[in-house]
Amino acid sequence: MIYSVEKEYQGMLDAYEKAGGDSNSLKTEGMAKLIVHENKVLSADEVPGVRLKFKPKENGIIAELRVEEGVKVKNPIHLCFGILPSEGLQDITFRVDVLSGAEVKVVAHCIFPNAVHVIHKMDAVINIGENAIFSYNETHYHGDSGGIEVIPKAKVILAEKAFYKNTFSLVQGCVGKLDFDYDIYSGANSVAEMVAKIYGKQDDYIKINEKVNLNGENARSLIKTRIVLRDRARAEVIGETQGNAPYARGHVDCTELVNGTEAVAKAIPVVSVTNDKAKITHEAAIGSIDRRQVETLMARGLDENEAVDVIVKGLLR
Amino acid sequence: MLSIENLQWGLNGKLVIDGLNMHVGRGEIYGILGENGTGKTSLTHLIMGTNNYKPTGGDILFEGQNLAGLSISQRARMGISLAWQEPVRIEGLMVEDYLRISGKNFGIEQVKHCLEMVGLSPSIYLSRDIDSTLSGGERKRIEMASLVAMHPKLAILDEPDSGVDIPSLPLILNSIMEMSRQGSSVLLITHNEKVVEIAHRVSVLCGGKIFMTGTPAETSHWFKDNCQTCPHINEPVEL
Ligand SMILES: Nc1ncnc2c1ncn2[C@@H]1O[C@H](COP(=O)(O)OP(=O)(O)OP(=O)(O)O)[C@@H](O)[C@H]1O
Ligand SMILES: [Mg+2]
Residue-wise pLDDT for B132-152, tens only, equals 999 999 999 999 999 999 999
Asked if B127 reaches chain A (Cβ–Cβ under 8 Å), the answer is: no
Residues in chain A within 8 Å Cβ distance of B101: 297, 300, 302, 310
What's the whole-number mean pLDDT along residues A70-99?
A: 95
Confidence of residue B238 (pLDDT cuts 50, 70, 90): very low
Higher pLDDT, residue A7 or B179: B179
CB contact residues (below 8 A), chain B span 94-123, against chain A: 97, 101-102, 104
Residue-wise pLDDT for A113-138, tens only, equals 999 999 999 999 999 999 999 999 99
Q: Decide whether any atom of ligand 1 lies within 6 Å of the B41 Cβ.
A: yes
What's the whole-number mean pLDDT along residues A160-174?
A: 96
Look at A304 and B88 and tell me if their CB atoms are within 8 Å.
no
CB of A282 within 8 A of CB of A252?
Answer: yes
The Cα-based distances of B30 to B33, B62, B155, B190, B202 in angstroms read 10, 15, 10, 11, 6
Q: What is the pLDDT of residue B229?
A: 77
Q: What is the pLDDT of residue B239?
A: 37
Measure the CA–CA gap between A155 and A140, rounded to whole angstroms. Answer: 20
What's the whole-number mean pLDDT along residues A306-317?
A: 92
pLDDT at B234 over 70: no
List the domain boundaries for chain A. 5-286
User: Model-level pTM?
Assistant: 0.87
Please state the ipTM of this predicted complex.
0.95
CB of B85 within 8 A of CB of B158?
Answer: yes
> How crowded is residue B132: how many other Cβ atoms within 10 Å of its Cβ?
9
Look at A293 and B88 and tell me if their CB atoms are within 8 Å.
yes
Q: What is the pLDDT of residue A27?
A: 76
pLDDT at A50 over 90: yes
Measuring from atom 4 of ligand 1, which residue has the nearest CA? B11
Strands (E), A83-162: 87-98, 103-112, 117-128, 133-142, 148-158
CB contact residues (below 8 A), chain B span 168-207, against chain A: none
Measure the CA–CA gap between A282 and A187, rounded to whole angstroms. Answer: 21
pLDDT at A63 over 70: yes
Ligand 2 (ion): which residues have CB within 5 A?
Answer: B 40-41, 85
Q: Which of A64, A304, A83 is nearest to A176 (CA)?
A: A83
Measure the CA–CA gap between A221 and A184, rounded to whole angstroms. Answer: 10
Residues in chain A within 8 Å Cβ distance of B51: 295
Confidence of residue B74 (pLDDT cuts 50, 70, 90): very high
Q: What is the pLDDT of residue A11?
A: 83
